[in-house]
Structure 1
Amino acid sequence: MAYDYQAVHVLDGTIGAVPGQRANHLAVHRATAIAVVLAAPGHGAEAAGILVADGAFEARFCGPGEWLVLSEVHAPETLVAELAIRLGAFAFVVDQSHGRVALTLSGPDAARILANGIAVDLHPEAFAVGRAATMLCNHLSVNLARTGIDRFDLVVMRSFAEALVADLKVMARSHDLSVDFATR
């Protein structure tokens, strides 16, 4: 017997259908290819150099010798294959596209909203555009990257995505937040 499986986003049916985007907006990405790169012992500098040198994808620091690599252009399989070829023996690559969810919080109050649940200084001088780190948002581990002065990307484990969206809605109660799937 053959089964026909449909790809369903973990947040389908729980968000969306808000007419219009407000000044502060949480966009949930449907098709982001995500891979974890772990440097081989003693090869962290080489792996970092290769990841930073290429603009075809976005590498985000997670910890010593560990990065999340995101791409809106590549399919998960092609991202992993391309990274494996470029990094060779310097690092190990694992596809996490179906195990993680990418979200973007943008708007004039984005840093204030996040400050309600993150114990990190989000002032642009302390957490500049292009900086990323793995941290707790309330009780959930997220990788947070500042991608613009008023724009932050969050990557969370798939099983915690619904809880993170609920937490962000509570954190933004006084900031008029809209939530929907990203159009890009």
Structure 2
Amino acid sequence: MAYDYQAAHALDGTIGAISEHRANHLAVHRAPALAVVLAAPGHSAEVAALLAAEGTVEARFCGPGEWLVLAETHAPETLAAELDARLGARAHVCDQSHGRVVLTLSGPDAARILANGIAVDLHPDAFPVGRAANVRCNHLAVNLARTGEARFDLVVARSFAQALVDDLKTMARSHHLSVDFATR
């Protein structure tokens, strides 16, 4: 018996369309291309250099020899295969496109909103643009990256996406946050 599976975003049906974006906005990305790269023993520096040289992806450091790679120009189905071909035996690549959700929090109060649930110093001197870290947002494991002066990306496991959105809404209660799917 054949089954026809329909792909659905983890937050479909939970986020309604909004009429206007407020100054502080949480954008939910529909189809990100994501992969985890784990360097083989002794190849961390080489893999880091290869990922830095690849201009079409953004490699976020997660830990020694581990990166979360995001790409806007790649299809979710092809990113892991292209990274695997480029890195070869120097690294192990695992597609995470359908297992994680990417959120972008932007606005003048973005750092203050995050400070309500994240125990990391988000001052631009301590956490500059381009920095990424695995953190806890309240009780959830999140990869946090500063992608602009007042802009942060949060990557969370698909099964915890709704809980993270609910937590962010609570954390932003006094900051007039709007939430919608991203248009890009």
Q: TM-score, normalised by structure 2?
A: 0.98
Q: Which whole-Å deviations, capped at 9, do the CAs of 1:51-107 have from their partners, x for residues lacking one? A: 011111111111110000011221123111110111111100000111100000000
Q: Which residue is 1:181 aligned to? A: 181
Residue 2 of structure 1: how far off its partner (Å): 3.2
SS in 1 for 2:174: helix
Q: Which whole-Å deviations, capped at 9, do the CAs of 1:97-145 have from their partners, x for residues lacking one? A: 1110000000000000000000000000100000001010000000000
Matches within 5 A, 1:1-184: 1-184=1-184
2: distance between equivalents of 1:103 and 1:183? 12
Residue 168 of structure 1: how far off its partner (Å): 0.1
Aligned amino acid, residue 174 of structure 1: S
2:100–2:155 Cα contact (<8 Å) kept: yes
Gaps of 5+ in 1: none
1: distance between equivalents of 2:88 and 2:3? 37
Gaps of 5+ in 2: none
1:9–1:30 Cα contact (<8 Å) kept: yes
Residue 155 of structure 1: how far off its partner (Å): 0.2
Number of residue-to-residue matches in the alignment:
184
Deviating above 6 A after TM superposition, structure 1's stretches of 4 or more consecutive aligned residues are none
| Deviates further, 66-75 or 124-133 | 66-75
Percent identity reads 79
For the aligned residue pairs, the C-alpha RMSD in angstroms reads: 0.8
2:31–2:76 Cα contact (<8 Å) kept: no
| Deviates further, 82-91 or 111-120 | 82-91
2: distance between equivalents of 1:82 and 1:47? 14
Residue 37 of structure 1: how far off its partner (Å): 0.2
Q: TM-score, normalised by structure 1?
A: 0.98
